[in-house]
Amino acid sequence: MLTPESAEPQAITSAQFIKRANYLLERGYYPLPVGKRVEKRDGSVSYKAPWLSGWNGYDRQIPTDATVSSWLDAVAAEQAKGKQGVLSLGIVLPPNVLGVDVDDYGDKHGLQTLASWADQFGMELPATWTITARPGGSGIRLYRKHSLDYYPKEIKGSDIEFLDSNHRYAMAPGSWHHTAARYCLYGPDGQQCKELPLPDQLPAFPSQYESSLPSNPFGHEAGSTSDVEDFLANHTAANRPGTLKGVESLWRKKLSDDGPHEALKHAASMGFNDAAAGLLNAKTVYDALKSLWRETGRARAEFDDFVKWQVVHSERNDHAVTITKAVRDYDKPMSTSESNDDSWADDEATEPWERYPLTSARTLAAPIKPVRWLVQGVWPERSAGAIAGKKKTFKTWQMHSLAGAVSTGLSYLDRFPVTTPGPVLYLTGEGGQVEFQSRHQAIMKRYSMTPQDMQDVPFHAMFDVAPLDDREGLLHE
């Protein structure tokens, strides 16, 4: 039997796992079966990987007492397949909790970063509960978030990372660390304690830090419950009620391809944009999406928080563009076979100044809107173009690296900050999946991303694409 002093991986017992996992559920946290052996790129070995998929990250399911009991057999089945590891317990944080993971050991200096932030932001982080297996200040500090969609971006070289319900997970107190120490919980007074605080008991993450650390991939703050109520009350027209089928169809496709988070993101955008433009009744869209979300078993709070953000965005959206898209997608256009030169000849003539209007000197002298950047000084928002150059000059790597910067929010080439981070859909133009995957992992490693970290980065690739000059491929349904 392994002793606590041993540096070998150590398991907790099945009884301990069940008892502690159910305790986490009672306190408002989500348990996660971890302990699978994973060899890292640097040759080191970790025993923190999840045994089962689907219980952490954006598309996680919400476990119950019955789920926890079933995990023991599921982990045993994985071990029977030859997968190595031990039984251990992780914690997925609730939607309103933020974890600040400080590393301060070896060549890592997270405490220096905290001191620097205190000088920059005018205050230290409040004392709070910390989970750690290392003495000296390392560990995950727990705070309550003001907004569920707030998530700070990691700053390279800071030796501080962040956790929330969608990103990463913590090890539960009582589990074993690879140094043969147990993970323990410490209270705000620095003393070891046993009772995990309820999420609402945690100190708030300071607003000075929220406003100063890079974050907010949406580009604006979420609205309030009253904003949602006003939106539903103000947008009752339904000039194109049939487009609701398109919203529901988009939900099903995204749910199948990418999971519930992406399904809500895309379907809510389409549905509420249409409602703001008078195409759909906002309450009808809300009720339909709420029903679809309920079927996923995900937390209602996540749905409510996203809707608060989306209604603000949809209210500000260009409604003319929404209507134009609806006409394009749902009205049958005249095909070439239905038109002829005779019909054109019957049209009224267009006066020259209507066809070719003048732009006045006053308009030309008007202030120009500043450029909105994806990557400062490199890539403007809402732009399309090509990276041109001679053969074998790393054009593919440059483009892939740009996409990696946008998806992670980290500076491109350590020099050009990402102003508007967000999800990336990469349409591959050459090579296969293996070649692309190898390049992708090499580039993301440059952004200090391990394969485990990459699972939470919103970077997606599509390999079944057609060239722009391939008429047959583009028109193929």
Domain boundaries, the chain: 14-216, 225-330, 373-382+391-462
- Measured CA to CA in angstroms, residue 62 lies from 37, 77, 197, 452 at distances of 24, 21, 20, 21
Structural contact between residues 38 and 83, judged by C-beta atoms closer than 8 angstroms:
no
Those residues whose C-beta lies under 8 Å from the C-beta of residue 372, and which sit 6 or more positions away, are 380, 381, 382, 419, 420
CA angle 168/174/175 to nearest 5° reads 55
122-126: long-range contacts, CB 8 A cutoff, minimum separation 24: 122/208, 123/206, 123/208, 125/100, 125/205, 125/206, 125/209, 126/188, 126/203, 126/204, 126/206
Those residues whose C-beta lies under 8 Å from the C-beta of residue 211, and which sit 6 or more positions away, are none
- Measured CA to CA in angstroms, residue 176 lies from 75, 142, 181 at distances of 17, 20, 6
Tokens at 94, concatenated: 């609730």
* pLDDT at residue 217, rounded to an integer: 47
* pLDDT at residue 14, rounded to an integer: 94
CA 314 to chain centre: 20
Neighbours of 323 (CB within 10 A): 17
* pLDDT at residue 50, rounded to an integer: 92
* pLDDT at residue 373, rounded to an integer: 78
* pLDDT at residue 120, rounded to an integer: 92
* pLDDT at residue 477, rounded to an integer: 44
**Is this prediction's pTM over 0.75?**
no
Structural contact between residues 304 and 290, judged by C-beta atoms closer than 8 angstroms:
no
* pLDDT at residue 61, rounded to an integer: 85
Helix (H, G, I), strand (E, B) or coil at 341: helix
* pLDDT at residue 16, rounded to an integer: 95
Sign of CA dihedral 339, 344, 347, 351: positive
List pLDDT tens digits, range 397-449.
888 888 888 888 888 887 888 877 888 888 876 667 888 888 889 888 888 88
Could you give the CA distance from residue 124 to residue 111 in angstroms, rounded to a whole number?
11
The b/e string for 179-198 (b: 16+ C-beta within 10 A; e otherwise) is ebeebbbbeeeeeeeeebbe
Q: pLDDT tens digits, the chain, 477 residues: what are they?
A: 333 434 577 899 999 999 999 999 999 999 999 999 887 766 778 888 899 988 987 667 889 999 999 999 999 999 999 999 999 999 999 999 999 999 999 899 999 999 999 999 999 999 999 999 988 899 999 999 988 878 888 888 899 999 999 888 999 999 988 877 899 999 999 999 999 999 999 999 999 998 888 864 444 456 788 889 888 988 988 888 888 998 999 999 888 877 888 889 899 999 999 999 889 999 999 999 999 998 888 778 888 888 988 888 888 777 777 777 766 565 544 333 333 444 334 444 444 444 556 677 777 887 777 777 777 877 777 777 666 677 776 778 888 888 888 888 888 887 888 877 888 888 876 667 888 888 889 888 888 888 888 888 888 888 766 665 655 555 554
> Which among 77, 73, 36 has a CA at the least distance from the CA of 56?
36
* pLDDT at residue 239, rounded to an integer: 85
